[in-house]
Amino acid sequence: MDVQSSQRHAGPLSRERADIDYKNELNSEQFAVVRDAEGPCLVLAGAGSGKTRTLVYRVAWLIAHGTPADRILLLTFTNKAAHAMLSRAAALVKGEVKGLWGGTFHHIANRILRVYAGKLDFKPQFQILDEDDAERLMRSVLVTEGPHAAGSVFPKADAVRRVLSFAANSGISIEHAIDDHYPQFIKFKNFFPEFARAYEEKKRAMNAMDFDDLLVNLLRLLEQFPQVREKLSSRFKYVLVDEYQDTNRLQAGITHLLASVHGNLLVVGDDAQSIYSFRAADIGNILEFTDRYPKAKVFRLETNYRSRPEILTLANESIRHNSARYKKELRTSRKSGIVPLLASAPDPEAQASYVVAQVLARAEAHMSLHDMAVLFRASHQTLELELELAKHDIPYLKRGGLRYFEQAHIKDVLGYVRILANPADELAWRRVLQLYEGIGAQTADRIWRLVKQSPDQYLTIADEMKEMQGLSSRVERGVGEVWDDLRAFAISAVKGPGEIITAVLARRYREYAKDAFDDAEERILDLETLANFANRYQDLSALLADAALGEGFRGEVKGASMAQDEDKLILSTIHQAKGLEWKTVFVIGLVDGHFPNARTLERGKELEEERRLFYVAVTRAQEELILTYPETSYLSSGYLLGRPSLFVRELPKKVYQRWMIEDGGGDDAGMIDIDEEGDNADGILGKVIKTMRR
DNA sequence: ATACGATTTTTTTTT
DNA sequence: AAAATCGTAT
């Protein structure tokens, strides 16, 4: 319908690409979305149903029919998804996506807030705090504001921050968040508002926002400044959102307002793949979309192009144990293949050597490593596997766990950059100061209190410092070195951000790293790469913002430093694997206590989310699915005699084949009969045997 | 009093 | 692996 009308506004139609044959390259369900998604639209798309493809073609269609790329906003959930989608769209329309706004919510919020920071009383160079920063800042709040009653077990900084974060993201009060989601903190409820206030105050003083603030402040900006809202939402003629099931209330509010002028809001999601409720993602956004937008068109993509029917059967059998869901059964267009395998190993070592043997067998049969992936619930589950892979010289890339920018050496060095960019950055000061011999938490605190009084004159403070009482000569020397260094780095700063890092490395950190880390060489190499990368920026705060948001770096820097197209096996958390697919998928560690996670086993509501996670994992597989679990494994409390995961036990036996892995040669923990059908009644603790061994 | 090294505990998932 | 805790050195 709108094809003709939008063509009329198309301007120079000569550029329209006749070479995309939409009808042929898409199925009829997908084509309907690409052609008709005007106004509010909800696309319910099952796993592997070509949802990314549909979005990419929709973008191409819009551009081909005259919408300038810079009037399209494409919101995705991860940086990786954003890049993948933009490059696919670029390939389709031959580079005409330039100017398209695409990225994560946080990325887009950052971009908009840089322009309008002033309206919210931030300076435009505001600093972004990553999770580690936020936790440290909260820790310093608890030191001053926390109750000092000895012996009282008080929630840790990270826990406090989580509560506040959850409240912010779901748009509920702190009290409410504690009552409903963190009942263990009810007796401390009265303290939280005070912590929140002190935390806010510290952030303000630093001109800093944490991840949540990016969303909160963008929403506030749109709500409180109608001219801004008008301007932005007029600009974005089309707003497209991927993975809508994982958006939270703030994000739904933001998309609502950004699309408020044109009303063209296209959201795509799958309620069965909602796995981020711990971050306050709200399935209600999808389930109630048609209530919020009564005129919304609803599309369904229910044909799976990815997986063999045997794999899909297993997935469907699993997800049907969940009660809260849209009724939807995935059909596959593919021919019958191999029945999924469930393999049990005596211990994690045997599990690892089994996976490696299977990988090697496939590699020998000329399968590329990048066509296989090993998925897991939590990143520490790969320990044995990584050892085994190293032993066999198999190159791999692990996703999940510590991020590049959260590693100590990176944060240390960027600490100097942060001080130079923003001398009011309390966290950077504390971190950098404690790198020096003789300066610990106490001295760092005293120095910071002095700096705080006039941050902009920090270079001249050194003299006052000397007059501080009771400085031992060791401390005094340390303080002297700090300022000598800072003066030197301030001079390098003129030449660009990369020069600062080079100078830090040359003047101090190279030596420091050799003492502090046993893998110093690798880390120094890392930092040299970082220096190179940083030189692409002129603006320190732009560099730091991208660092905090994880933008660009992981893929580019690391990829460039390694052999670019070396074939690698992917190890990934299931969360990071969302939206991806491989021919062969291993899901390891399927034991009660690990997956489902011990914490969620105790709470019924979260168990459904955990099951959706399992669903996401198995639906990544195209040809082959191999599930494994160790019969004994390891929890912080001791050995866990595992029974296979609930998610496996509840499946009908006919959907998988069974396989027993022989002991790989590691020390045998003794054969114990696993009660596979075991009743759920005895909690996992009953199965934990404390051992003295460690 | 403070720094720092050794020991113990604890760890989901992500922007 | 990193933080919290504890004990010793400066």
DSSP assignment string, A538-604:
S-HHHHHHHHHHT-SHIIIIIHHHS-TT---EEEEEHHHHTT--EEEEEE---BTBBTTBHHHHT-H
Lowest mean pLDDT: which of A4-8, A141-145, A323-327, A486-490?
A4-8
pLDDT number for residue A18? 52
Residues 84-143 of A with CB under 7 A from strand B: 104-107, 131
Say whether A94 is catalytic: no
pLDDT digits (tens, 9 = 90+) for A53-78: 999 999 999 998 989 999 999 998 88
Q: Is the pTM of the predicted complex or chain greater than 0.75? A: yes
Active site residue: A30, A35, A51, A212, which one?
Answer: A51
Type and span of the H or E element at A345: strand A341-345
What angle, 0 to 180 degrees and rounded to 10, lies between the N-to-C axes of helices A520-534 and A408-421? 40
**In the structure, how far is the CA atom of residue A128 from the C1' atom of nucleotide B4, in angstroms?**
31
Highest mean pLDDT: which range of A189-203, A222-236, A496-510: A222-236
A76, A251, A255, A273: the active-site residue: A273
Residue whose structure tokens are 């109750």:
A147
CA of residue A637 to C1' of nucleotide B7, angstroms: 17
Residue A440 CB lies within 7 Å of the nucleic strand B = yes
Measuring from the CA of residue A107 to each C1' atom, give the nucleotide at the shortest distance: B15
In one-letter notation, the amino acid at residue A290 is T
A273 CB-contact burial (10 Å; exposed 0-12 / middle 13-18 / buried 19+): buried
Residues 390-419 of A with CB under 7 A from strand C: 402, 407-408
Coil vs helix vs strand at A392: coil
What proportion of chain A, given as a percentage, has pLDDT over 70? 85
For residue A367, pLDDT beyond 80: yes
Residue A141 CB closer than 7 angstroms to strand C?
Answer: no
Confirm whether any atom of chain B, the nucleic acid strand, is less than 7 Å from CB of A443.
Answer: yes
Q: What is the pLDDT of residues A392-413, one digit of tens each?
A: 888 888 887 777 788 888 889 9
Give the confidence band of A134 by pLDDT, cuts at 50, 70, 90.
very high
Name residue, tokens 């994560």: A104
Give the per-residue pLDDT at A691. 32
Position A77 scores a pLDDT of: 83
Q: How far is the CA of A448 from the C1' of C6 (A)?
A: 27
Longest dimension (CA), chain A: 81
Mean pLDDT across chain A: 83
> What does the block give as tokens for A26?
């898409």
* Tokens 């603030």 sit on residue: A213
Q: What digits encode the pLDDT tens for the residues A208-236?
A: 999 999 999 999 999 999 999 999 999 99
DSSP β-ladder status, A41-45 and A297-301: parallel
Task: Give yes or no for CB of A474 within 7 Å of strand C.
Answer: yes
**Contact between residue A20 and residue A92 where contact means Cβ atoms under 8 Å apart:** yes
Q: Is the CB of A409 under 7 A from strand B?
A: no
Please determine, for residue A9, whether its predicted confidence score (pLDDT) is greater than 60. no
Query: Exposed e or buried b for every residue in A185-194, given b needs 16+ CB within 10 A?
Result: beebeebbee
Give the pLDDT confidence score for residue A555 in this predicted structure: 32
Query: Catalytic residue among A52, A67, A255, A628, which?
Result: A52
**A16 pLDDT exceeds 50?**
no
Which single residue is written with the structure tokens 């409903």?
Answer: A180
Residue with tokens 């998604």: A37
Give the CA-trace dihedral at A225, A105, A160, A285, to 10 degrees. Answer: 90
Measure the CA–CA gap between A162 and A131, rounded to whole angstroms. Answer: 10
Is A51 annotated in the active site? yes
Nucleotides in chain B with any atom closer than 7 Å to protein CB: 1-4, 9-15
A52 in active site: yes
Cβ distance A659 to A341 under 8 Å? yes
What DSSP assignment string belongs to A155-215? --HHHHHHHHHHHHHHT--HHHHHHHH-GGGGGGGGGHHHHHHHHHHHHHHHTEEEHHHHH
How high is the pLDDT of residue A205? Answer: 92
- In one letter, which amino acid is A598? A
Nucleotides of C under 7 A from a protein CB: 1-4, 10
Q: Is the CB of A79 under 7 A from strand B?
A: yes
Q: Which residues pair with A248 in a beta bridge?
A: A281
Distances (CA, A) of A664 to A349, A351, A630: 7, 8, 12
pLDDT > 50? residue A560: no
Q: Once rounded to an integer, what is the mean pLDDT over residues A597-615?
A: 83
CA of A156 to C1' of B10 (A): 12
